[in-house]
Amino acid sequence: DIQMTQSPSSLSASVGDRVTITCRTSQSISNYLNWYQQKPGKAPKLLFYAASSLQSGVPSRFSGSGSGTDFTLTISSLQPEDFATYSCQQSYSTPLTFGGGTKVEIK
Amino acid sequence: QVQLQESGPGLVKPSETLSLTCTVSGGSISSYYWSWIRQSPGKGLEWIGYIHYSGSTNYNPSLKSRVTISVDTSKNQFSLKLSSVTAADTAVYYCARRGNYYDSSGYHYFFDYWGQGTLVTVSS
């Protein structure tokens, strides 16, 4: 199985801050990486597929990058509605696996 | 707009079989793969498996011996059965659609539509 490691596991930030979340995989997966946002009590919401392709309706302050084993999700200017947990997921091979999540909290 | 809705018992006894159904509305179940994903309390997401409308399946090896996913195209539904459950199977269970995208690397797959999730507790 491909192991997914996200860092940090949590962070505190203020509205307007630039936030970067990292996802590292245990083997190279090219750009077969997706990002999701999840709010408490809600289902995950797709943000990016193929590492950097923005899902329709997702604000442009979000960006995704990376290839191989290292990937990054960046929020350029954190907004109140962005406080949530973010998870990466590899689609390179089955079993499909997810990172443990990064919780973005209000400072 | 595609919508998914999970249904089934919220409480299952240990050693029994967990059964859930996902009803798809706003679109046909045909032409896509459909998946079950779970999230234990306070934990990350775990992919259980997926099924194509034709009936072909792919399961997570960690659960494969206990999992059956089936599809009923006439009802636009797919279902999950997980046998011999224990407290470790307590989780929110989500159904989701597997979307796809093609680029120079090949086909990319992702979960683009999700149900709201249903909490299943395993307890006597």
Q: Please check the confidence at residue B43 and state whether its pLDDT lies above 90.
A: no
Q: What pLDDT score was predicted for residue A57?
A: 96
Residues from A contacting B (CB-CB < 8 Å) are: 30-32, 34, 36, 42-46, 49-50, 53, 55, 87, 89, 91, 94-101
Q: State which residue of chain B sits closest to A43, comparing Cα positions.
A: B116
How many angstroms separate the CA of residue A98 from the nearest CA in chain B? Answer: 6
Confidence tier at B31 by pLDDT (50, 70, 90)? confident
Per-residue pLDDT tens for B79-111? 999 999 999 999 999 999 999 999 888 999 999
| Residues recorded for chain B | 124
| Amino acid identity, position A38 | Q
Q: Please check the confidence at residue A107 and state whether its pLDDT lies above 90.
A: no
| Amino acid identity, position B48 | I
Nearest to A31 among B105, B109, B117 (CB): B105
Q: What pLDDT score was predicted for residue B121?
A: 98
Q: What pLDDT score was predicted for residue B41?
A: 87
- Pairing of the two strands B45-52 and B33-39: antiparallel
User: What does the mean pLDDT of chain A come to?
Assistant: 97
**Coil/strand/helix, residue B87:** helix
Nearest to A32 among B94, B96, B108 (CB): B108
| Amino acid identity, position B101 | Y
In angstroms, the CA B29 to CA B27 distance is 7
In angstroms, the CA A32 to CA B110 distance is 9
User: What does the mean pLDDT of chain B come to?
Assistant: 96
In angstroms, the CA B114 to CA B3 distance is 7
